[in-house]
Amino acid sequence: MSDKAIEGQPFVRFDKVQKSYDGEILVVKNLNLDIAAGEFLTMLGPSGSGKTTCLMMLAGFEPATHGEIFLGNEPINNVPPHKRGIGMVFQNYALFPHMTVAENLAFPLQVRGMNKAEQETKVKRALDMVELGVFGNRMPAQLSGGQQQRVAVARALVFDPELVLMDEPLGALDKQLREQMQYEIKHIHESLGVTVVYVTHDQSEALTMSDRIAVFNDGIIQQLSSPSDLYERPDNSFVAQFIGENNRLDGVVTDVKGKECSVKLDSGETVTASAINIEGKGKRTTLSLRPERIEINPTGKAKRSMITAKIEELIYLGDHIRTRMSAGGSSNFIVKFPNKSGHKLLEEGKTVQVGWLAEDCRALDPIL
């Protein structure tokens, strides 16, 4: 645990924080958020949702319009950025092009008045951590994009900060390198135990790396949960649509019994769903149903909702088959299933039955 962290208390705390750039429109609305020491928390959301603004306020580059931000139980609204002791990693790397890799890493240590010998020790350790030990004398322009991003991560960690902020750090990398760097940053975090606040609009990146994810929309946290909770148990329709691939079916609640409800779809069929976020009988709802939770022509006696579907498209993706259907009033109803011999019985244009368990179908607030 860090020096500033107090056991049982959050290491970073946003208390009723608001942000407006023009004095009228709030980009961040009454944010209350606690982040534990050593946690990897990702702020996830579409462009303009307020996530980067929150990071910039925490870094000290933007002032909060209202409310207080705490670091290690100390208010930091009036502390300048260079005195907050926070490491930063940006999408554009922000490396000094006229300095070698080692000089780039030594710079934050020089600013802090560290002696030469200690600088060399820390620079070597940081470069080894990102597996660039032999690249110290290279210039940034002599490195690949992935190597430059590793240097940027090493520079953010070289002075042993208690908190590291990362703003879309992998956005400029190609898909394969981006995925590799996700695991590398995750493993560095696990080995160091440093607190990381990470900003991205890429939901698969957030699911891969985070302990918890705060999903932002319109300046408000829509849900704050573990990756598995966000995916399996979204609280509302925005989260269900934003996290992972999701089937949306619209209808009206016709009956509510305990934790389940009956829903008459706009297509006329009636199905059963988990009653999660509904207004009650007679009210509209949007059902959330993950593609891999659906079975085609299911067998057995398990209680399932069943509707008729027409196969519009079969897409072979190696380890699984992605099927686009017309079903339940949607022409983009997706079913995913493992690549086994059974898929050869399916063909485009064929009519089938699709089914799912009520616990896998969530009745949420209607999308208007």
Has residue 287 been placed in a domain?
A: yes
Residue whose tokens read 């961040």: 28
CA distance 229 to 215: 12
The reply to whether 253 and 301 lie within a common domain is yes
Which backbone phi and psi does 107 adopt, to 5 degrees?
-55, -50
The reply to whether 196 and 295 lie within a common domain is no
Instruction: Report which DSSP code applies to 124.
Output: H
The reply to whether 72 and 111 lie within a common domain is yes
The reply to whether 345 and 196 lie within a common domain is no
The reply to whether 217 and 270 lie within a common domain is no
Q: What is the domain count for the chain?
A: 2
CATH number at residue 118: 3.40.50.300
Has residue 149 been placed in a domain?
A: yes
Has residue 7 been placed in a domain?
A: no
Among 237, 258, 275, the domain-final residue is 237
Among 237, 263, 293, the domain-final residue is 237
The reply to whether 28 and 173 lie within a common domain is yes
CATH number at residue 278: 2.40.50.140
The secondary structure element, H or E, covering residue 20 is strand 12-20
The secondary structure element, H or E, covering residue 14 is strand 12-20
Has residue 36 been placed in a domain?
A: yes
Residue/partner pairs of 53-56 with CB below 8 Å, 24 or more apart:
53/19, 53/27, 53/28, 54/14, 54/17, 54/19, 54/28, 54/199, 54/216, 55/165, 55/167, 55/197, 55/199
Instruction: Check if the beta carbon of residue 272 is closer than 8 Å to that of residue 262.
Output: yes
Q: What is the DSSP string of 70-85?
A: EETTEE-TTS-GGGS-
Has residue 3 been placed in a domain?
A: no
CA distance 6 to 70: 12
- Give me the helices (H) in 193-236, please: 203-209, 227-232
The reply to whether 264 and 123 lie within a common domain is no
The reply to whether 314 and 213 lie within a common domain is no
Instruction: Check if the beta carbon of residue 331 is closer than 8 Å to that of residue 312.
Output: yes
R_g of the chain, CA atoms, integer Å: 25
Structural domain range at position 309: 245-364
Contacts with 227 (C-beta within 8 Å, 6 or more apart), sequence order:
206, 207, 208, 210, 213
pLDDT tens sequence across 174-229: 888 888 889 989 998 998 899 999 999 999 999 999 999 999 999 999 999 999 99
The reply to whether 256 and 172 lie within a common domain is no
Instruction: Check if the beta carbon of residue 129 is closer than 8 Å to that of residue 138.
Output: no
Has residue 5 been placed in a domain?
A: no
Has residue 169 been placed in a domain?
A: yes
Q: For position 91, what pLDDT does the model report? A: 79
Contacts with 324 (C-beta within 8 Å, 6 or more apart), sequence order:
311, 312, 313, 315, 332, 333, 334
CA distance 115 to 97: 24
The reply to whether 281 and 204 lie within a common domain is no
> Mean pLDDT per segment of 10 residues, for the chain of length 368 residues?
63 97 93 96 95 96 96 94 90 86 92 90 90 91 89 90 92 84 90 94 93 96 96 95 94 95 95 95 96 88 84 90 94 91 75 93 92
The reply to whether 229 and 257 lie within a common domain is no
Q: What is the DSSP string of 167-198?
A: ESTTTTS-HHHHHHHHHHHHHHHHHH--EEEE
The reply to whether 257 and 321 lie within a common domain is yes
Per DSSP bridges, beta strands 12-20 and 260-265 are unpaired
- Neighbour order of strands in the sheet with 220-225: 86-90, 163-167, 195-200, 40-44, 212-217, 220-225
Has residue 20 been placed in a domain?
A: yes
Among 207, 237, 267, the domain-final residue is 237
pLDDT tens sequence across 108-127: 998 888 899 999 999 999 99
